[in-house]
Amino acid sequence: MRAALDLGTNSLRLLVAKVTSQGLEPLRKEVRVVRLGQGVDAAGKLSPAAMERTLSALEELAALIPPGVPVAAFATSAVRDAKNGQEFASLVEERLGIPLEILSGAREAELSFAGAVWSLRHLRLPEPIAVVDVGGGSTEIYTGLAGGELLGGGSSQVGAVRMLERFITAHPLRSQEQEAMEEEIRRILAPLAEQNRAHEPKALIAVGGTATSLAAIMQNLEQYSDEKVTGFAFSLAQLGETYKQLGGLTLQERGRIPSLQAGREDVIVSGAAILAAAAELLGVGKLHVSAWDLLYARLALPVD
Protein backbone atom coordinates (compact mmCIF):
# COMPACT_ATOMS: atom_id res chain seq x y z
CA MET A 1 0.00 0.00 0.00
CA ARG A 2 1.19 3.52 -0.86
CA ALA A 3 -0.13 7.07 -0.66
CA ALA A 4 0.44 10.18 -2.75
CA LEU A 5 -0.38 13.83 -2.13
CA ASP A 6 -0.67 16.18 -5.11
CA LEU A 7 -0.45 19.89 -4.30
CA GLY A 8 -1.86 21.55 -7.39
CA THR A 9 -2.52 25.22 -8.06
CA ASN A 10 -6.25 24.84 -7.44
CA SER A 11 -6.74 21.57 -5.56
CA LEU A 12 -5.09 19.23 -3.12
CA ARG A 13 -5.51 15.50 -3.73
CA LEU A 14 -4.83 12.36 -1.75
CA LEU A 15 -4.73 8.86 -3.22
CA VAL A 16 -4.16 5.70 -1.18
CA ALA A 17 -3.82 2.54 -3.25
CA LYS A 18 -2.42 -0.95 -3.44
CA VAL A 19 0.24 -1.45 -6.09
CA THR A 20 -0.16 -4.80 -7.84
CA SER A 21 1.35 -6.50 -10.87
CA GLN A 22 -1.75 -5.38 -12.82
CA GLY A 23 -1.38 -1.74 -11.79
CA LEU A 24 -3.09 0.25 -9.05
CA GLU A 25 -6.07 -0.62 -6.89
CA PRO A 26 -7.34 2.69 -5.46
CA LEU A 27 -8.52 2.41 -1.87
CA ARG A 28 -9.24 6.02 -1.00
CA LYS A 29 -9.25 9.31 -2.90
CA GLU A 30 -9.91 12.72 -1.38
CA VAL A 31 -9.92 16.17 -2.99
CA ARG A 32 -9.88 19.61 -1.36
CA VAL A 33 -10.09 22.86 -3.34
CA VAL A 34 -7.58 25.11 -1.55
CA ARG A 35 -6.51 27.51 -4.36
CA LEU A 36 -2.85 27.37 -3.28
CA GLY A 37 -1.87 29.38 -6.36
CA GLN A 38 -4.23 32.27 -5.67
CA GLY A 39 -2.43 35.48 -6.63
CA VAL A 40 0.80 33.78 -7.76
CA ASP A 41 0.41 35.00 -11.34
CA ALA A 42 0.35 38.64 -10.21
CA ALA A 43 2.54 38.59 -7.09
CA GLY A 44 5.01 35.87 -8.03
CA LYS A 45 4.74 34.21 -4.63
CA LEU A 46 2.41 32.14 -2.47
CA SER A 47 0.33 34.19 -0.07
CA PRO A 48 0.42 33.44 3.69
CA ALA A 49 -3.33 32.77 3.67
CA ALA A 50 -3.09 30.29 0.77
CA MET A 51 -0.16 28.49 2.38
CA GLU A 52 -1.92 28.21 5.73
CA ARG A 53 -5.20 26.84 4.36
CA THR A 54 -3.23 24.34 2.26
CA LEU A 55 -1.16 23.23 5.24
CA SER A 56 -4.34 22.78 7.30
CA ALA A 57 -5.93 20.70 4.54
CA LEU A 58 -2.72 18.69 4.20
CA GLU A 59 -2.78 17.84 7.89
CA GLU A 60 -6.41 16.77 7.55
CA LEU A 61 -5.64 14.48 4.61
CA ALA A 62 -2.41 13.12 6.09
CA ALA A 63 -4.42 11.96 9.11
CA LEU A 64 -6.40 9.70 6.75
CA ILE A 65 -3.30 7.78 5.63
CA PRO A 66 -2.88 4.47 7.51
CA PRO A 67 0.18 4.38 9.81
CA GLY A 68 3.36 3.08 8.20
CA VAL A 69 2.20 3.64 4.62
CA PRO A 70 4.94 5.32 2.52
CA VAL A 71 3.91 8.72 1.17
CA ALA A 72 5.03 10.64 -1.92
CA ALA A 73 4.12 14.35 -1.84
CA PHE A 74 4.66 16.57 -4.84
CA ALA A 75 3.77 20.07 -5.99
CA THR A 76 3.26 21.51 -9.45
CA SER A 77 2.90 24.92 -11.09
CA ALA A 78 2.05 27.24 -8.18
CA VAL A 79 4.93 26.09 -5.97
CA ARG A 80 7.24 25.69 -8.96
CA ASP A 81 6.67 29.29 -10.06
CA ALA A 82 6.53 31.00 -6.67
CA LYS A 83 9.59 32.81 -5.34
CA ASN A 84 8.85 31.33 -1.91
CA GLY A 85 8.12 27.82 -3.21
CA GLN A 86 11.10 26.27 -1.45
CA GLU A 87 10.10 28.02 1.76
CA PHE A 88 6.66 26.45 1.49
CA ALA A 89 8.19 23.03 0.81
CA SER A 90 10.18 23.38 4.03
CA LEU A 91 6.99 24.26 5.93
CA VAL A 92 5.28 21.13 4.59
CA GLU A 93 8.13 18.91 5.77
CA GLU A 94 8.22 20.69 9.13
CA ARG A 95 4.47 20.35 9.75
CA LEU A 96 3.90 16.89 8.25
CA GLY A 97 7.32 15.25 8.31
CA ILE A 98 6.93 14.51 4.58
CA PRO A 99 9.42 15.82 1.97
CA LEU A 100 7.72 17.80 -0.80
CA GLU A 101 9.00 17.20 -4.33
CA ILE A 102 8.56 20.17 -6.68
CA LEU A 103 7.98 18.72 -10.14
CA SER A 104 9.37 20.40 -13.23
CA GLY A 105 6.86 21.12 -15.99
CA ALA A 106 8.41 18.41 -18.15
CA ARG A 107 8.23 15.83 -15.37
CA GLU A 108 4.61 16.76 -14.67
CA ALA A 109 3.78 16.21 -18.35
CA GLU A 110 5.58 12.86 -18.45
CA LEU A 111 3.68 11.58 -15.41
CA SER A 112 0.33 12.77 -16.77
CA PHE A 113 1.03 10.96 -20.03
CA ALA A 114 1.97 7.72 -18.28
CA GLY A 115 -1.14 7.68 -16.09
CA ALA A 116 -3.51 8.54 -18.93
CA VAL A 117 -2.34 6.03 -21.55
CA TRP A 118 -2.16 3.21 -18.98
CA SER A 119 -5.75 3.79 -17.86
CA LEU A 120 -7.18 3.72 -21.40
CA ARG A 121 -4.99 0.97 -22.86
CA HIS A 122 -8.06 -1.25 -23.31
CA LEU A 123 -9.49 1.21 -25.86
CA ARG A 124 -6.55 0.62 -28.20
CA LEU A 125 -6.52 4.24 -29.28
CA PRO A 126 -4.73 5.00 -32.55
CA GLU A 127 -1.14 6.16 -32.12
CA PRO A 128 0.57 8.49 -31.58
CA ILE A 129 -1.48 9.69 -28.60
CA ALA A 130 -1.40 13.22 -27.21
CA VAL A 131 -2.25 13.85 -23.56
CA VAL A 132 -3.30 17.31 -22.38
CA ASP A 133 -3.40 18.17 -18.67
CA VAL A 134 -5.07 21.51 -17.93
CA GLY A 135 -4.00 22.60 -14.47
CA GLY A 136 -4.56 25.71 -12.41
CA GLY A 137 -1.24 27.31 -13.26
CA SER A 138 0.03 25.48 -16.32
CA THR A 139 -0.99 23.14 -19.13
CA GLU A 140 1.06 20.12 -20.14
CA ILE A 141 0.88 18.40 -23.52
CA TYR A 142 2.90 15.32 -24.40
CA THR A 143 2.71 13.00 -27.40
CA GLY A 144 3.86 9.40 -27.34
CA LEU A 145 2.97 5.76 -27.86
CA ALA A 146 0.64 3.51 -25.91
CA GLY A 147 3.58 1.56 -24.52
CA GLY A 148 4.86 4.68 -22.78
CA GLU A 149 7.49 5.87 -25.27
CA LEU A 150 7.51 9.67 -25.35
CA LEU A 151 8.00 11.50 -28.65
CA GLY A 152 7.89 15.08 -27.41
CA GLY A 153 6.01 17.76 -25.55
CA GLY A 154 6.28 19.86 -22.42
CA SER A 155 4.61 22.50 -20.28
CA SER A 156 3.14 25.93 -21.01
CA GLN A 157 2.39 28.79 -18.62
CA VAL A 158 -1.35 28.88 -19.22
CA GLY A 159 -3.61 27.56 -16.46
CA ALA A 160 -7.23 27.84 -15.41
CA VAL A 161 -6.58 29.86 -12.24
CA ARG A 162 -3.95 32.00 -13.97
CA MET A 163 -6.32 32.92 -16.84
CA LEU A 164 -9.26 33.45 -14.49
CA GLU A 165 -7.32 35.92 -12.36
CA ARG A 166 -5.84 37.67 -15.37
CA PHE A 167 -9.01 38.23 -17.40
CA ILE A 168 -12.35 37.36 -15.78
CA THR A 169 -14.15 39.79 -13.47
CA ALA A 170 -17.79 38.72 -13.87
CA HIS A 171 -20.01 35.65 -14.21
CA PRO A 172 -21.69 35.21 -16.67
CA LEU A 173 -18.60 36.00 -18.70
CA ARG A 174 -18.30 39.39 -20.34
CA SER A 175 -17.72 38.94 -24.05
CA GLN A 176 -14.76 41.34 -24.22
CA GLU A 177 -12.98 39.62 -21.31
CA GLN A 178 -13.75 36.19 -22.73
CA GLU A 179 -12.36 37.07 -26.14
CA ALA A 180 -9.20 38.54 -24.62
CA MET A 181 -8.71 35.40 -22.53
CA GLU A 182 -9.20 33.09 -25.50
CA GLU A 183 -6.73 35.09 -27.60
CA GLU A 184 -4.09 34.92 -24.86
CA ILE A 185 -4.63 31.19 -24.35
CA ARG A 186 -4.08 30.48 -28.03
CA ARG A 187 -1.02 32.72 -28.17
CA ILE A 188 0.68 30.99 -25.23
CA LEU A 189 -0.35 27.45 -26.17
CA ALA A 190 0.47 27.65 -29.88
CA PRO A 191 4.21 26.82 -29.69
CA LEU A 192 3.65 23.77 -27.48
CA ALA A 193 0.76 22.57 -29.64
CA GLU A 194 2.86 22.97 -32.78
CA GLN A 195 5.66 20.96 -31.19
CA ASN A 196 3.19 18.13 -30.53
CA ARG A 197 1.54 18.39 -33.96
CA ALA A 198 4.89 17.59 -35.51
CA HIS A 199 4.42 14.04 -34.17
CA GLU A 200 0.98 13.80 -35.86
CA PRO A 201 -1.15 12.64 -32.91
CA LYS A 202 -4.11 10.49 -33.89
CA ALA A 203 -5.89 10.52 -30.51
CA LEU A 204 -6.19 12.93 -27.59
CA ILE A 205 -6.63 12.13 -23.90
CA ALA A 206 -7.56 14.91 -21.49
CA VAL A 207 -6.74 14.66 -17.78
CA GLY A 208 -7.04 16.98 -14.79
CA GLY A 209 -9.94 18.53 -12.89
CA THR A 210 -11.23 20.55 -15.83
CA ALA A 211 -11.53 17.53 -18.13
CA THR A 212 -13.05 15.21 -15.53
CA SER A 213 -15.52 17.88 -14.37
CA LEU A 214 -16.63 18.54 -17.94
CA ALA A 215 -17.05 14.80 -18.57
CA ALA A 216 -19.28 14.53 -15.49
CA ILE A 217 -21.32 17.59 -16.51
CA MET A 218 -21.84 16.30 -20.06
CA GLN A 219 -23.15 13.01 -18.67
CA ASN A 220 -25.50 14.80 -16.27
CA LEU A 221 -24.14 12.76 -13.39
CA GLU A 222 -25.92 13.23 -10.08
CA GLN A 223 -22.60 12.62 -8.35
CA TYR A 224 -19.05 12.80 -9.67
CA SER A 225 -17.40 9.40 -10.34
CA ASP A 226 -13.84 8.63 -11.51
CA GLU A 227 -15.09 5.40 -13.02
CA LYS A 228 -17.81 7.10 -15.09
CA VAL A 229 -15.59 9.85 -16.47
CA THR A 230 -12.62 7.62 -17.33
CA GLY A 231 -13.02 6.52 -20.93
CA PHE A 232 -15.82 8.99 -21.66
CA ALA A 233 -15.37 10.71 -25.02
CA PHE A 234 -16.78 13.90 -26.50
CA SER A 235 -16.25 15.95 -29.63
CA LEU A 236 -14.63 19.37 -29.88
CA ALA A 237 -18.07 20.69 -30.90
CA GLN A 238 -19.65 19.27 -27.73
CA LEU A 239 -16.87 20.80 -25.67
CA GLY A 240 -17.45 24.19 -27.30
CA GLU A 241 -21.18 24.02 -26.60
CA THR A 242 -20.66 23.09 -22.94
CA TYR A 243 -18.11 25.88 -22.55
CA LYS A 244 -20.60 28.35 -24.01
CA GLN A 245 -23.39 27.16 -21.70
CA LEU A 246 -21.20 27.34 -18.58
CA GLY A 247 -19.93 30.77 -19.52
CA GLY A 248 -23.49 32.05 -19.61
CA LEU A 249 -24.25 30.97 -16.02
CA THR A 250 -23.79 32.80 -12.75
CA LEU A 251 -21.57 31.25 -10.06
CA GLN A 252 -24.71 30.31 -8.14
CA GLU A 253 -26.16 28.53 -11.17
CA ARG A 254 -22.94 26.61 -11.75
CA GLY A 255 -22.92 25.72 -8.06
CA ARG A 256 -26.21 23.90 -8.54
CA ILE A 257 -24.65 21.48 -11.04
CA PRO A 258 -24.51 18.32 -8.88
CA SER A 259 -21.34 16.80 -10.37
CA LEU A 260 -19.28 20.02 -10.22
CA GLN A 261 -17.09 20.08 -7.13
CA ALA A 262 -17.62 23.08 -4.86
CA GLY A 263 -14.83 25.57 -5.45
CA ARG A 264 -14.65 24.98 -9.22
CA GLU A 265 -17.60 27.22 -10.14
CA ASP A 266 -15.40 30.09 -11.29
CA VAL A 267 -12.42 28.22 -12.71
CA ILE A 268 -14.31 25.68 -14.84
CA VAL A 269 -14.90 28.18 -17.66
CA SER A 270 -11.27 29.24 -18.07
CA GLY A 271 -10.25 25.59 -17.89
CA ALA A 272 -12.76 24.69 -20.61
CA ALA A 273 -11.41 27.51 -22.77
CA ILE A 274 -7.88 26.14 -22.45
CA LEU A 275 -8.94 22.57 -23.19
CA ALA A 276 -10.90 23.65 -26.28
CA ALA A 277 -7.97 25.71 -27.56
CA ALA A 278 -5.54 22.83 -27.00
CA ALA A 279 -7.70 20.35 -28.93
CA GLU A 280 -8.23 22.80 -31.79
CA LEU A 281 -4.54 23.70 -32.02
CA LEU A 282 -3.61 20.00 -32.01
CA GLY A 283 -6.04 19.35 -34.85
CA VAL A 284 -7.88 16.57 -33.01
CA GLY A 285 -11.68 16.64 -33.04
CA LYS A 286 -12.41 14.05 -30.35
CA LEU A 287 -11.24 13.89 -26.73
CA HIS A 288 -11.14 10.92 -24.38
CA VAL A 289 -11.08 11.66 -20.65
CA SER A 290 -9.20 9.89 -17.87
CA ALA A 291 -9.13 10.48 -14.12
CA TRP A 292 -5.79 8.66 -14.07
CA ASP A 293 -3.12 11.32 -14.33
CA LEU A 294 0.18 12.21 -12.66
CA LEU A 295 -1.22 11.32 -9.22
CA TYR A 296 -1.68 7.69 -10.25
CA ALA A 297 1.55 7.52 -12.22
CA ARG A 298 3.59 8.97 -9.36
CA LEU A 299 2.06 6.49 -6.93
CA ALA A 300 3.15 3.58 -9.08
CA LEU A 301 6.82 4.61 -8.74
CA PRO A 302 8.97 3.38 -5.85
CA VAL A 303 8.79 5.53 -2.70
CA ASP A 304 11.72 5.75 -0.30
Q: What is the pTM of this model?
A: 0.89
Q: Which three-class secondary structure state does DSSP give residue 139?
A: strand
How many folded domains does the chain comprise? 2
Give 103-145 pLDDT, tens digit per residue.
998 888 888 898 999 999 999 999 999 999 999 999 999 999 9
| Same domain membership, residue 133 and residue 85 | no
Domain assignment present for residue 114? The answer is no
pLDDT-derived band at 304, boundaries 50, 70, 90:
very low
- Given 102, 133, 158, which residue is the final one in a domain? 102
Q: Contact, 12 vs 57, CB < 8 A?
A: yes
CATH code, domain carrying 7: 3.30.420.40
Residues 233, 211: contact at Cβ < 8 Å? no
Per DSSP (E only), the strands in 76-214 are 100-102, 129-134, 139-144, 150-156, 203-207
Taking residue 194's Cβ as centre, other Cβ atoms within 10 Å add up to 11
Residues 130 and 97 reside in one and the same domain: no
Question: Does residue 301 fall inside a structural domain?
Answer: no
Residues 221 and 265 in one domain: yes
Residues 127, 249 within the same domain: yes
Same domain as 75, residue 139: no
Q: Which structural domain, as residue segments, surrounds residue 204?
A: 120-294
What is the pLDDT at residue 299? 82
- pLDDT tens for 22-61 read 778 889 999 999 999 999 999 999 999 999 999 999 999 9
